[in-house]
């Protein structure tokens, strides 16, 4: 058996997350500043809010699940819980989610095989192994990516 072709858990989880995140990242190049204001009524959250939210949650995951204590994050979309209309620059939002992706990717890559079985506790989803908690970031991003696609197609700026 050729052991050089065997993937680690970290490699597998990283590949899964990157592939799932394409549901989000593939939309970014086509989103304009005008699109960022779109909402699908009666929802109050715009595309801009959701993009910012995805980035903030990625940074929260890097910090709270994977232990990147040096990350400074004030998750405004989580704190405010509603869209304040301030996320209207596609350039700034794209840079933000590129940074959040890179940050989370780096901390995921640093995980040793045994780290995935370490338990963590958060107020959002209780006590889970890192592997179990990882499912949350994958599903969180793809869930909101679906919302973004529907809002962009059917939403309005009214």
pLDDT at 158: 72
Domains of the chain in sequence order: 10-28+36-154 (1.20.120.450)
Compute CA 23 distance to the chain's CA centroid, rounded to the nearest angstrom.
Answer: 11
Q: What is the DSSP letter of 71?
A: -
Region 103-117: mean pLDDT is 96
For 91, the token pair is 């350039």
Contact criterion met (CB below 8 Å) for 20 and 138: yes
Q: What percent of the chain has pLDDT over 70?
A: 97
Name the band, by pLDDT with cuts 50, 70 and 90, for residue 7: confident
- Structure pTM? 0.93
- Residues for the chain: how many in total? 158
Region 32-60: mean pLDDT is 95
Q: What is the DSSP letter of 70?
A: T
Q: Residue 116: pLDDT above 90? A: yes
Cα(61)–Cα(107) distance, integer angstroms = 10
Q: 1 or 79, which is more confident?
A: 79
Q: Residue 3: pLDDT above 60? A: no
Contact criterion met (CB below 8 Å) for 40 and 146: no
Region 55-70: mean pLDDT is 93
102, containing H or E segment: helix 90-109
pLDDT at 124: 82
Bridge partner residues of 122 (DSSP): 126
Neighbours of 107 (CB within 10 A): 18
């Amino acid at each position: 058996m050729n052991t050089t072709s065997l993937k680690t858990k970290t490699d597998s989880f990283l590949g899964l997350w990157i592939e799932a995140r394409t549901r989000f990242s593939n939309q970014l190049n086509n989103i304009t500043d005008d699109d960022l204001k779109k909402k699908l009524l009666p929802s109050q959250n715009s595309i801009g809010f959701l993009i910012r939210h995805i980035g903030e949650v990625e940074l929260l995951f890097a910090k709270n699940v994977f232990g990147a204590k040096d990350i400074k994050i004030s998750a405004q979309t989580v704190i405010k819980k509603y869209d304040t209309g301030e996320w209207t620059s596609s350039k700034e939002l794209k840079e933000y989610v590129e940074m959040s992706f890179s940050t989370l990717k780096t901390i995921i890559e640093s995980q040793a095989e045994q780290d995935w079985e370490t338990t963590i506790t958060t107020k959002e989803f209780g006590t889970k192994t890192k592997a179990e908690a990882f499912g949350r970031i994958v599903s969180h991003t793809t869930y909101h990516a679906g919302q973004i696609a529907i809002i962009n197609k059917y939403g309005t700026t009214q």
